[in-house]
Structure 1
Amino acid sequence: MKKYAYILLLLGAVIGLYQCTAHKMLATSPNNPPKADPNSSPVVPASESISKMKLEPGMAIKLIASEPLISTPVAMTFDRYNRIWVIEMEDYMPDTTGKGENEPLGKVVLLSDKNKDGVYDDRKIIIDSLVMPRALCLIEDGILVAEPPRLYYYQLKNDKVVKRTLVDAKYTDGGNVEHQPNGLYRALDNWIYNANSPKRYRKQGEKWLIEPAHEKGQWGITQDDEGRMYANDNSTNLQGDYFPPSLGLTNKNQRGLAGFNERTVADNRTFPIRPTTGVNRGYMKGVLDDSLRLVNFTAACGPMIYRGGLFGPDYQMNAFVAEPAGNLIKRDILAEKGNLVKGREAYLHREFLASVDERFRPVSLYNGPDGALYVIDMYRGIIQHKTYLTPYLAGEIGKRNLTKPLSCGRLYKIYPAGKKLINVTFPDDPVKLVALLGNANGYVRDEAQRILVDTKPQQALPALREALKSGNPLLVTHALWTLEGFGELKADQVLALLQSADWKIRMQALTVAPNIINNDNYSRFTPVLSQLVAANDTTEAPYVGFVTASLQKYDRKAGDAILFSLAKKYPKNNYVADAIVSNVQGREEAFQKEMLKVVPDTALAINKRIGRVVAAIEDSKLNSDPALMAKYYPRGVAIFGTVCKTCHGEDGNGVTALAPPLNKSEIVNGDKTVMISILLKGLTGPVKINGHVYKAPEISGEMPGFADNKDFSDDDLAQVMNFVRRSWQNKGSKINAADVKALRAKLASRQKNFTIDELQQPATQNPNIKTN
């Protein structure tokens, strides 16, 4: 160990510990990387980075780009020429205080492999002087770029910007940098979705459409072959939807639809191969194990469903999740059972990829044109934003000099060892592009669809129509949505596919049907949907319920008849029940009464789910006036919107897998000392609100404190607490800045979060709260 440390020091003297330069790549990783020194984290030259990794046996990893070609990459996408477009976020957290993070240092750069050796060697800056850019998406002759709080479309010519259009001035409506929308993922249905966002986008001619979407995740978003979407939050391995993202969006009064944002993989265990003391709450019991390694996810991000077709059948329907705080990438194995998609981690006590280099920060993962898995390594010391950075972590950063450098970054690709990688060429011939819609590589299918939809060559239409008749589920799926993107999909084609014996094909036909049903053809869909109900297919039933919403404005009587048929057949099925409720916005109470005539048992799922929405509507009528709260507590409203809303919900009713309700919370309405203590020093573990015990995985299990955050004054914290204590249906007493200041002083020496049991002890029901 001493010898290794001496070699590192000697190497540091030669290259400079804080200077990053370009180095030649290595093609494979060792099975037994050297041990990490928990007291030292020098910059590892790019040429040696792979030697610090342990990779799944049988796999190879290749460095394809590194500094100075790229710097602090966070997101990327390929174009049809296999060039890589990269977002660089060099302005993120220059030090532990975040000083200078609003400097316009962000860029969109284009990487090319000029000599075709598989390593990118050319860099072109396309857009510069951006502040904290976070996502990009190619579309038509330009690129969407998210630069909070705005979303812009840059029209390009010869890779140069010729025009900039504001698409959405409120792409990020509140939220700090860790909780702002990102992703810009162009999905199977031709809409662009985001993690951490209730919106989706689509370009229609010169107009941009912005519609509601199911909100999910924190950083990164992905889809499977059926177009179902997956995401996660920092403490959750993987969450996903059982249904495509365009369904279930027709009743704004409905919250938490069954089948959306479900826990796909329950196990959050991680297995780093180095001590990971540099995590935000490494001082807390249970965060690190006896060997000082991260126990559970704390920075899960960048999930990806592998669809490359190169890894073999064992990797079909696998998910990969990045964990930059643990310097690793996890593999999960997913399986379908009816509508449900559930999974498990692939290995016990090890990971698909892990590194002993603390600066290895995988943040985003991608399928590539050659079937490989692509990894973005932000390669830096600081990844925790200042909003939540604890003094403990600041100390760890200082101890190992992790602040500098700020200009590193690496891209890798992973593939089966010994396999020849071949990039698919996307031809100009539209008919040949149509043939690629059935390719084994999901990225290739997606890209061929994107090119066809963006260019709309009319010569492709006959081939697309023939593809619908092929019987190949993958080819049919993409041909179907490509025709939808052209605006050329016909009712006859969808109705024919609804008769298919293949469920995957019927699934896509049902999903696209709401886009096709109109006043001229709805009567043709009504009997077909009724026939599908009669088929007694439990998997199909929720889809029928969702699609029936499209019939309602043309023939409510016929639509309701289908809904009542579904309810009688599946009264205990939550997925069917919520699909039914998605039909009845604005008439929930009246529909509830009609449903009780059909299904009288109030204990059944269908009546419970309708009743829940009716009760929520009535409950919301008692809420306080938000405009009045904004007038009294403007700073509190602003802080809630940037820090609290993402986890606790805009309506204060909590967000599944993140945080419990604030509305009608005993803590919010109770002793102000308890609430101040939580806001200053944080809360961990289960918490009981309104008779319900919230604990992981229903919530993340931890709320950070803000005592050490210099951005928030005593008055700021008082304002946000007063806003919460008087909003919705809360009636808590007023808190003054002096109250916060006094308790801050009493708790100054306290390091750990509170537990609710500790706060509710008689000795702590006053300002003399224990400080140990």
Structure 2
Amino acid sequence: MKTFYSSLFLATLTFAYGQQGNRKEHHSMDPVVPADLIPAAPVLSPAEAVKTFEIAPGFTIEAFATEPLVDKPIGLDYDPAGRAWVVEMIGYMMDLDGKGEKEPQGRIVVLEDTNQDGKADKRTVFLEKILLPRAVAVYPDGLLFLDDHDLKWIKRDGIKPVGESIVAAPKFIEAGNVEHKVNGLLRNMDNWHYNAKSGKRVRRQGEKWIVESTPFRGQWGITRDNYGRLYHNNNSTFLFGDFLAPNLLAGNPGVNLKTNDVAQLGPNNTYPARVTPGVNRAYIQKSNGYGSDTLDPKTFKLLLTTASAGPVIYRGSNFPREWHGRAFTPESVVNLVKAIQIDESAAKLTGSHPLGKKEFLASTDERFRPVNMFNAPDGSLHLLDMYHGIIQDRFFMTSYLRAQYASRKLDGPGEGHGRIWRIRATSGKLEKNTNFEVMKTADVVKALAHGNGWHRDMAQRVLVDRNDLDALPLLNQLVGIEEYPLAQIGALWTLEGLGKLTAPAIATALKSQDLKVGVSALWASTKLPASEVAALAPALLSFESKSEEQAVYLARALGPVGNAAAFDRLLVLLGKYAKNPYIKAAAFAGLDHNEIAFKQHVGDKLKDKTLLTWLDQGAAAAGKALVSGSGLSGEHLASFNKGKALYSGAAACFGCHGAGGEGVLNLGPPLDESEWVVDNPERLIKLLLHGMTGPVTVAGIEYKPSADMPGLIQNPTLKDSDIADMATYIRHEWSNKAPQIKADVVTRLRKETADRTGSPYTAKELGQ
């Protein structure tokens, strides 16, 4: 949703002049689309809105729920009965100034299709007066949900709340504006909830919620494929895909690994159905004196996405076979949905646009605001449409966009509209409603083999949530039925969710000829306690990887075995797949607390200097708590702690550079072990004050952020001491160990560079 720029400290930019999204160096904001080409943007009824859609051949779009049944839907989850629990973000940008945005007006409502005609006909308000809610996850006895400040839990009795909501996990959400806060609550195959705009995952354990670190992902929306891999995006990138299972490489805390398994999937070109003047920085055109065009100068349509939102991987049963596994990403500013073909090679995911220069779905209605998508119980897709005039938050809105909104009266009405659309293939069948709440154990287990991914997911969820131990014999049997690979995988992770995953079950799955079953079994083996790992050792040692992907997971699984035979197998894998980008990281992750034993066993046979260094560092860190700011004291420690609070809190630097300083693909380069951070303190301060534009090389790798980094000089709320504290923090966190920077250095450089008037540096200007 944020358009056209990102920054180290983006979330706190507040400008002393004009509209908050304006930038000093942007000298011209003249309109670029001829007024006579811009259509009006009246509020359309659902019946009128349907006529504005252009959809791919063989598909149709129809209403599942419209106002007054739903208002500003932003997220949802389904319960075992097939009811949709919808999050309504009431209060978001009700007018051009965002008045009332900090008043709790949001709701969670339950939508039901009581007559089974494919349309919701009953609405029940479950919870209201929520401040900007953004995600929900349904449990049999309650609801987990995200509001603007916290991850919360409230008990339920059917569709009635019981008592008041409580904070489920303190400090789960860091500071930031509405476009840059945690969202998602995707319940993945491994029984953890994952989120966008977050480096944390959460899982229920009895009456408690366990929080762990996970690689930072995305901005708005998150989804998964049949194998538990995660997909996400940011405003200027339609889709990223993780090649490996989440946290597979996170087993050894001794080293902050830089291994990146995330890939951009396909280009970011857009092909809207209408002219698109309502883009925040559409004024950036060569005709206005800039060096590039935001809109096509001939058609006046947006060239590259600027508001990618909640994606989904299609896993249903209604679409033709060739559409299974494809991704769909909404673009809320220019009113379309992109389809993305995902392909897989030995060590990476790639993407392409199967429809070429056509979108899967596009509308000429400027108020059509698709923000999230979900696989539906009947095998179709549900598309959430806020149906709202203003989609850009006030913190980033430019004077140009404000005038555009006002000229077409998009600033009203501020409430009362919202749609959930159903997208289906005209030739495909739709599933009848299945109520998992009343199904017997055997029937629920059988659903793990269903052709509709929604049913498979729900079957696992129901068995785990009701702690159905009667299912254990059936699940262990299903693990060995190779006719249904996805059911084998689902059975493994259902056992894991029940706390009953065993070495024999994994050994059975390892015999499967299906490559993905083998991968999932190896991944599941990393969840076993030590006693079960020992029992599984013979199966792991005899397992012959049939693909490069399996080899990576086997490398991760062998380390915990910890004996000479396992170390020998691991050494062979490291040699055979030395060019694989993940193999040594996987090996190191599995060798936690076995680093010294492995190194002593293999001796000089191991030649990889990087892995040898990791092993030494991991061994040194074993048994020690890695304390942030260790070795500092006095004024330096105080400055470090203030900077740390700004980085992970009010300044939200982690949004573009990662909680571990590892960088975020297409947004910001890494800060850990970056010469830009630790080498020249004056260069760092100049960069922070005035920002940076264009490519930059860090540790020998070139990065090309999708947008400029604005300078902090534009933010009058940040004092020189604040900037010094943030610089001090990033210079001594993670692997960095550089001296403190004091406020007087910032003050001096602010004066010396005042003539830049906010113009960002290039890497070349700063000496690269």
TM-score by length of 1: 0.83
1:629 to 1:276, Cα distance in 2 relative to 1, 3 A:
farther
CA deviation map 1:143-194 (0-9, x unaligned): 1111233211211103111143431011213333322221111111222111
Match of 2:555 in 1: 545
The letter of the residue matching 1:332 is: I
**Gaps in structure 1 of 5+ consecutive residues:** 1-34, 762-772
The letter of the residue matching 2:454 is: Y
Match of 2:589 in 1: 582
Q: Say whether residues 1:726 and 2:728 are aligned partners.
A: yes
The letter of the residue matching 2:655 is: T
Deviation at 1:730, TM superposition (A): 6.2
Q: Say whether residues 1:716 and 2:718 are aligned partners.
A: yes
Match of 2:89 in 1: 89
The letter of the residue matching 2:204 is: K
SS of 1:422's equivalent in the other structure is coil
Deviation at 1:102, TM superposition (A): 1.2
Match of 1:235 in 2: 236
Deviation at 1:358, TM superposition (A): 1.6
1:462 to 1:592, Cα distance in 2 relative to 1, 3 A:
closer
The letter of the residue matching 2:371 is: V
SS of 1:346's equivalent in the other structure is coil
CA deviation map 1:507-554 (0-9, x unaligned): 2221211223432x4333223222225x57423111112223433xxx
SS of 1:47's equivalent in the other structure is helix
Match of 1:444 in 2: 455
Match of 2:293 in 1: 286
The letter of the residue matching 2:77 is: T
Contact 1:190 1:481 in 2 (8 A): yes
SS of 1:338's equivalent in the other structure is coil
SS of 1:215's equivalent in the other structure is strand
Contact 1:73 1:410 in 2 (8 A): yes
1:198 to 1:653, Cα distance in 2 relative to 1, 3 A:
closer
1:147 to 1:592, Cα distance in 2 relative to 1, 3 A:
farther
1:183 to 1:273, Cα distance in 2 relative to 1, 3 A:
same
Deviation at 1:243, TM superposition (A): 2.1
- Alignment equivalent of 1:503, drawn from 515, 518, 521: 515
Task: Count matched residues.
Answer: 706
SS of 2:304's equivalent in the other structure is coil
What is the rounded CA distance, in whole Å, between the counterparts of 1:203 and 1:247 in structure 2?
20
Deviation at 1:136, TM superposition (A): 0.6
1:672 to 1:145, Cα distance in 2 relative to 1, 3 A:
closer
Q: Say whether residues 1:404 and 2:412 are aligned partners.
A: yes
Deviation at 1:305, TM superposition (A): 0.7
Deviation at 1:365, TM superposition (A): 0.6
SS of 2:382's equivalent in the other structure is strand
What is the rounded CA distance, in whole Å, between the counterparts of 2:373 and 2:685 in structure 1?
44
The letter of the residue matching 1:360 is: F
Match of 2:444 in 1: 433
1:65 to 1:673, Cα distance in 2 relative to 1, 3 A:
same
Alignment of 1:125-136 (within 5 A): 125-136=125-136
- Alignment equivalent of 1:372, drawn from 362, 365, 380: 380
Alignment of 1:683-694 (within 5 A): 683-689=692-698, 692-694=701-703
CA deviation map 1:464-520 (0-9, x unaligned): 23322321102212122222222333321211221222222222221211223432x
SS of 1:232's equivalent in the other structure is strand
Match of 1:252 in 2: 253
Match of 1:275 in 2: 275
CA deviation map 1:75-112 (0-9, x unaligned): 01122222111111112233444342111111111112
Contact 1:725 1:733 in 2 (8 A): no
- Alignment equivalent of 1:513, drawn from 525, 528, 538: 525
Contact 1:172 1:180 in 2 (8 A): yes
Match of 1:316 in 2: 324
Alignment of 1:49-60 (within 5 A): 49-60=49-60
Q: Say whether residues 1:359 and 2:367 are aligned partners.
A: yes
Contact 1:668 1:730 in 2 (8 A): no
What is the rounded CA distance, in whole Å, between the counterparts of 1:613 and 1:281 in structure 2?
47
1:614 to 1:515, Cα distance in 2 relative to 1, 3 A:
closer
Contact 2:272 2:359 in 1 (8 A): yes
1:492 to 1:181, Cα distance in 2 relative to 1, 3 A:
same
SS of 2:526's equivalent in the other structure is helix
Contact 1:648 1:661 in 2 (8 A): yes
Q: Say whether residues 1:300 and 2:308 are aligned partners.
A: yes
The letter of the residue matching 1:523 is: A
What is the rounded CA distance, in whole Å, between the counterparts of 1:245 and 1:689 in structure 2?
26
- Alignment equivalent of 2:355, drawn from 342, 347, 352: 347
Alignment of 1:640-719 (within 5 A): 640=647, 641-642=649-650, 643-650=652-659, 652=661, 654-662=663-671, 664-665=675-676, 669-670=681-682, 674-675=686-687, 678-679=690-691, 683-689=692-698, 692-695=701-704, 699-704=705-710, 712=715, 714-716=716-718, 718-719=720-721
Q: Say whether residues 1:476 and 2:488 are aligned partners.
A: yes
Contact 1:301 1:364 in 2 (8 A): yes
Deviation at 1:741, TM superposition (A): 9.2
Higher relative contact order (CA 8 A, sep 6+): 2
Alignment of 1:112-127 (within 5 A): 112-127=112-127
Match of 2:145 in 1: 145
Deviation at 1:37, TM superposition (A): 5.2
What is the rounded CA distance, in whole Å, between the counterparts of 1:650 and 1:627 in structure 2?
25
Contact 2:265 2:349 in 1 (8 A): no
Deviation at 1:595, TM superposition (A): 6.3
Match of 1:768 in 2: none
Deviation at 1:197, TM superposition (A): 2.1
What is the rounded CA distance, in whole Å, between the counterparts of 1:437 and 1:297 in structure 2?
37
- Alignment equivalent of 2:402, drawn from 394, 399, 403: 394
Identity, % of aligned positions = 33
What is the rounded CA distance, in whole Å, between the counterparts of 1:629 and 1:740 in structure 2?
20
Contact 1:670 1:732 in 2 (8 A): no
The letter of the residue matching 1:298 is: T
Deviation at 1:195, TM superposition (A): 1.8
Match of 1:111 in 2: 111
Match of 1:566 in 2: 573
Q: Say whether residues 1:528 and 2:547 are aligned partners.
A: no
Deviation at 1:61, TM superposition (A): 0.3
What is the rounded CA distance, in whole Å, between the counterparts of 2:206 and 2:475 in structure 1?
22
What is the rounded CA distance, in whole Å, between the counterparts of 1:467 and 1:316 in structure 2?
24
What is the rounded CA distance, in whole Å, between the counterparts of 2:601 and 2:401 in structure 1?
58
The letter of the residue matching 1:656 is: L
1:672 to 1:443, Cα distance in 2 relative to 1, 3 A:
closer
Match of 2:210 in 1: 209
Deviation at 1:204, TM superposition (A): 2.4
Between 471-480 and 53-62, the greater mean CA deviation after superposition:
471-480
Deviation at 1:366, TM superposition (A): 0.6
Alignment of 1:4-19 (within 5 A): none
Match of 2:607 in 1: 600
The letter of the residue matching 2:185 is: L
TM-score by length of 2: 0.83
Contact 1:571 1:599 in 2 (8 A): no
1:529 to 1:460, Cα distance in 2 relative to 1, 3 A:
closer
Contact 2:85 2:109 in 1 (8 A): yes
